[in-house]
Every structure is written in structure tokens, then in C-alpha cells.
Amino acid sequence: MDYFAGIDVGSSSTEAVILDANSEMAGYSIVETGANSTEAAEQAMAQALSETGIDREEVKGSVATGYGRISVPFARKKVTEISCHGRGAYHLFPGTGTVIDIGGQDSKVIRIGEGGKVLDFTMNDKCAAGTGRFLEVMSSKLKIPMEQMGRLSLESGGALKISSVCTVFAESEVVSLVAQNRPKGEIVHGLHRAIVNRVWNMVKAVGIHGDMVMSGGVAKNRGVVSLLEAKAGASFFIHEEPQIVGALGAALFAQEL
């Protein structure tokens, strides 16, 4: 059987997805991008192939996406992450009309139509506010593991207002709140609200259409997701591994080479 690969090289992590000829996922991998995008892409590809037992020669086409897509020498084509997230989300959830992707260094809201075609989008790639990097900085400052932030936020009795959407200034606010011995759960809840307000302005710019899907690493944070769902008045569709949506879309494009 022929196989097809998609590689998504992001700022924090790199994902590889292997599809078979029937568009079924044979396997995937997620690795840290680190300082070398090319090495990360090679590692992700090798790991995905190893876990599925597929030989590299069986992969008949590969597409790279993400900010580091130009650094993937074995990819036959490069496609934007906007297109790949739209295509991947639509493949997973055919009712998808709006995709919210919150990644490590940027966030984007994408309106898609039939077949996952991109109809409109807006993107925040100039500022860390509203991204996974924002949460990483605050996680370090609060000395709370990233994977615990969602639970703490949901369990908090309230939210402390974080007035700045700038990571640098918000960090100063957090330092001040910690010095005042304010509850960390309420600080985290306030940080999540700051992110959600930033992202929701992007959602309003694109509009809500059809089912809403979240992709990217921050989709694993139930604190952020629940606040966004409250804004939308609806539940989001989220794949069990939301980080691979872009790589999945790239693999689907690879089938068309």
C-alpha cells in the first residue's frame, strides 16, 4: 500500500502524520522542535515511520507546513499552515466551519467551506499574547506545570483581572499578584481570560460558521477551552491529539501530488 506524510514544523513542536491510501491515519509523532527545524522534521518523520512499521520507500508523497516548512528537505511541496489546519479539521469533523488554532508562537482563526477550503482567516503572529508561549512564560513564573494550569483555572473560585495583553507587562502583573499572596488558581484563571479575550476578538472578525474546532497545543487546556465555549455558547470539537491537525492536513495535500 502507498502512504503519504505530512510534517508540521512549529516553533515549539514538530508533528508528522502518516496516512494510507484510504486517508486513514497509520500513525503520527510529536517531537520538540528545538534549535534545528531540519533535524526536528527528520526525527518526527523517523519516529512516525518506526511506530507504524512503514518503510520510508513506501511513502509516495510528503508535504511540509508550519513556520519551519522551508527547512524540510524531503518534502515535495510546502503548504501554508492556514490551509493545512483547515483541511485537517474538516477531515476530522466534516461539519467544521470555524477553526481556532492556538499554537506556540501564533494564534489564528480560520473560516472554511466545503472540503476544508479556506474562505477567510485572521492571524496573530506579531505578539506572544494569546499563544502557547504566553502560557509557557506564566507557567514558569508561577512555578506551575503547564498540564496543571487548566485544572487550577477550573477549580478556582474566581478570576483576578490581568489588564495587559502584552506578555512582558502581564508577567509584571503576575509577579505583583504572587507577591500579594493571591491564589494561584485565580491568577491562572485571569491569564486564561486574557488569552480568550484576545482570541475572541479574532473570532468576531472572521465570524462563527458551522461547527467550531480547536487545534494546537492550547486545545489541551480545559481552562481556556471552557472559557471560549462560554463565549461561543457552544461546545468545540477537539481531536484527542489536537497538535496533529496541521500535519494531518499536510498529509492530505500530499495525496494529491
d(CA 176, CA 238): 35
Q: Cα-flanking dihedrals φ and ψ of residue 158, to 5°? A: 180, -175
Q: Give the DSSP per-residue string, 19-40.
A: EETTS-EEEEEEEE-TT-HHHH
Examine the domain organization and report whether 122 and 208 are in the same domain: yes
pLDDT band per the 50, 70, 90 thresholds, residue 194: confident
Per-residue pLDDT at 16: 98
Examine the domain organization and report whether 88 and 184 are in the same domain: no
Examine the domain organization and report whether 198 and 105 are in the same domain: yes
Q: Are strands 96-102 and 107-112 parallel, antiparallel or unpaired?
A: antiparallel
Are the C-beta atoms of 80 and 87 separated by less than 8 Å?
no
Structural domains in the chain (count): 2
Q: Is the pLDDT of residue 246 over 90?
A: yes
Examine the domain organization and report whether 119 and 217 are in the same domain: yes
Examine the domain organization and report whether 162 and 74 are in the same domain: no
> Helix 146-155 to helix 132-142 angle, to the nearest 10 degrees?
80
d(CA 140, CA 128): 15
Grid cell at residue 213: 474546532
Side-chain half-sphere of 14: how many Cα atoms within 13 Å? 27
The range of the structural domain enclosing residue 16 comes to 1-93+241-257
Examine the domain organization and report whether 120 and 67 are in the same domain: no
Range 22-27 average pLDDT: 94
Query: Which amino acid appears at position 230 of this protein?
Result: A
Examine the domain organization and report whether 55 and 107 are in the same domain: no
Q: Is the pLDDT of residue 202 over 90?
A: yes
Q: Is the pLDDT of residue 126 over 70?
A: no
Examine the domain organization and report whether 32 and 107 are in the same domain: no
Q: Is the pLDDT of residue 135 over 90?
A: no
d(CA 221, CA 5): 27
Examine the domain organization and report whether 129 and 249 are in the same domain: no
Examine the domain organization and report whether 129 and 215 are in the same domain: yes
Of all helices (H) and strands (E), which one includes residue 110? Answer: strand 107-112
d(CA 237, CA 104): 20
* CATH assignment at residue 246: 3.30.420.40
What is the radius of gyration, based on Cα positions, of the chain? 18
pLDDT in tens, 56-110: 999 999 999 998 999 999 999 999 999 999 999 999 999 999 999 988 778 899 9
Grid cell at residue 228: 471560549
Examine the domain organization and report whether 215 and 121 are in the same domain: yes
Examine the domain organization and report whether 102 and 227 are in the same domain: yes
